[in-house]
């Protein structure tokens, strides 16, 4: 974080290498913002952030974009898995800081597209924690290969994410979504079927196997395991 408050003009000029005074004046933005780092996802209406009305003006001026819910980042920050993971991590209370992003949240981290309406996280079996506003908590046993660390944030791996979405009883993934996950990460249906094998007998596994077999189609080869830190 910056050690002192940033002026919007200085921030804009430094980041985009062009004068910012006309833009700031036209947008009616205040000259000084609270201490925060616009290069990383941050929440609005929290002590270290900016207010919702100010964020709206900054968005209108082209300086900020909304990532998910009330989390924003500077417009020119690259849209990548690490930024999306960091955005979701911003929404977790301290007691869930080490929880693993899972389900639709993990899918968004890996693939992008429409942001989820809430954050889904997983804790180890036996560790109980109540849901938080905008956050759904469940317990699940995750193998070491089931978790990737994406720029410091634990997220279920693409293969585990595919399996979890295929097993979801209320809103299972569409085959097209699984194709998008494969295109973004290199995981395959064959990988997912192998991950399902030790889960035989658990809820949703039979339906997931049918869905993933449809995804398999012509039988793509297994992908090599990619690095778990991005």
Which comes out higher in pLDDT, residue 101 or 226? 101
**Structure-token pair, residue 26:** 């036209």
- pLDDT of res. 131: 84
In 3D space, the residue among 84, 230, 77, 40 whose CA is nearest the CA of residue 150 turns out to be 230
- Tens-place pLDDT, residues 118-159: 999 999 988 888 888 899 999 999 999 999 999 999 999 999
Which comes out higher in pLDDT, residue 102 or 10? 102
Q: Is 128 exposed, middle or buried (0-12, 13-18, 19+ CB in 10 A)?
A: exposed
In whole angstroms, what separates CA 168 from the centre of its chain? 19
- Tens-place pLDDT, residues 168-223: 877 667 899 999 999 999 999 999 999 999 999 888 899 999 999 999 874 433 44
- pLDDT of res. 49: 65
Considering the entire predicted model, what is its pTM? 0.80
- Domain ranges (residues) in the chain: 8-74, 82-216
């Amino acid at each position: 974080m910056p050690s002192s408050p940033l002026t919007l003009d200085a921030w804009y000029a430094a980041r985009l290498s062009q004068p910012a005074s006309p833009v700031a004046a036209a947008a009616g933005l205040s000259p000084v913002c609270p201490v925060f780092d616009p290069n990383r996802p941050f929440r609005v209406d929290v002590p270290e952030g900016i207010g919702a009305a100010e964020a709206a003006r900054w968005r209108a001026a082209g300086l900020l974009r909304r990532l998910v819910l009330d989390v924003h980042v500077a417009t020119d920050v690259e849209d990548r898995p690490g930024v999306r993971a960091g955005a979701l991590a911003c929404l977790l209370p301290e007691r869930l800081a080490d929880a693993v992003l899972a389900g639709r949240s993990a899918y968004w981290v890996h693939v992008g597209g429409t942001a989820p309406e809430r954050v889904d996280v997983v804790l180890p079996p036996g560790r109980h924690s109540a849901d938080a506003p905008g956050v759904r908590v469940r317990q699940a046993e995750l193998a070491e290969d089931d978790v990737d660390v994406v720029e410091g944030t634990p997220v279920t791996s693409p293969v585990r994410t595919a399996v979890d979405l295929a097993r979801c009883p209320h809103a299972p993934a569409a085959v097209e979504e699984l194709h998008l996950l494969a295109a973004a990460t290199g995981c395959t249906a064959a990988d997912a079927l192998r991950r399902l094998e030790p889960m035989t007998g658990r809820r949703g596994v039979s339906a997931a196997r049918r869905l993933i077999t449809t995804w398999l189609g012509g039988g793509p080869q297994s992908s090599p395991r990619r690095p778990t830190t991005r």
